Amino acid sequence: MKKILVTGGCGYIGVHTIVDLVQNGYEVISIDNNSRSSITILDNAEKILGKKIKNYVVDLCNLKDTETIFEENKDITGIIHFAAYKAVGESVEKPLMYYENNLGSLINILKCAAKYAIPNFVFSSSCTVYGNPDVIPVTEDTPQKPAESPYGATKQMGEVIVRDAVKSNHVQAILLRYFNPVGAHPSISIGEIPLGRPANLVPAITQTAIGKLPTMQIWGQDYPTRDGSCVRDYIHVCDIAHAHTLALNFLISNQNTVNPEIFNLGTGDGFTVLEVINAFEKTSGVKLNYSVGPRRTGDVVAIYANNSKAKNELGWQPKYNLDEMMDSAWKWELTLKKD
**Cβ distance 7 to 109 under 8 Å?**
yes
pLDDT at residue 339 in the model: 64
Q: What does the domain layout of the chain look like in residue ranges?
A: 3-183+234-266, 201-230+268-308+321-338
The pair phi, psi for residue 76, each rounded to 5°, is -75, 130
Q: Length of the chain in residues, anyone?
A: 339
Closest CA to 13 of 181, 186, 204, 205: 181
Closest CA to 296 of 166, 214, 204: 204
Q: Write out the chain's pLDDT in tens, 339 residues.
A: 999 999 999 999 999 999 999 999 999 999 999 999 999 999 999 999 999 999 999 999 999 999 999 999 999 999 999 999 998 889 999 999 999 999 999 999 999 999 999 999 999 999 999 999 999 999 999 999 999 999 999 999 999 999 999 999 999 999 999 999 999 999 999 999 988 888 889 999 999 999 999 999 999 999 999 999 999 999 999 999 999 999 999 999 999 999 999 999 999 999 999 999 999 999 999 999 999 999 988 888 999 999 999 999 999 999 999 999 999 999 999 999 876
Q: Are β-strands 271-272 and 231-232 bridged in parallel, bridged antiparallel, or unpaired?
A: antiparallel
User: According to the 3-state scheme, what is the secondary structure of 67-117?
Assistant: HHHHHHCCCEEEEEECCCCCCHHHHHHCHHHHHHHHHHHHHHHHHHHHHCC
pLDDT at residue 338 in the model: 72
Q: For residue 253, give the DSSP letter.
A: T
Write down the catalytic residue from 26, 56, 151, 178.
Answer: 151
Known catalytic residue: 151? yes
pLDDT at residue 194 in the model: 86
pLDDT at residue 196 in the model: 82
Number of continuous H segments (helices) and E segments (strands) in the chain? 12, 13
pLDDT at residue 211 in the model: 96
Helix (H) or strand (E) holding 22: helix 12-23
Among 3.40.640.10, 3.40.50.720, 1.25.40.10, 3.50.50.60, what is the CATH number of 3-183+234-266? 3.40.50.720
Q: Are β-strands 3-7 and 27-31 bridged in parallel, bridged antiparallel, or unpaired?
A: parallel
Q: For residues 102 and 84, what is the distance between their CA atoms, to the nearest angstrom?
A: 5
pLDDT at residue 322 in the model: 97
Query: What does CATH list as the number for 201-230+268-308+321-338?
Result: 3.90.25.10
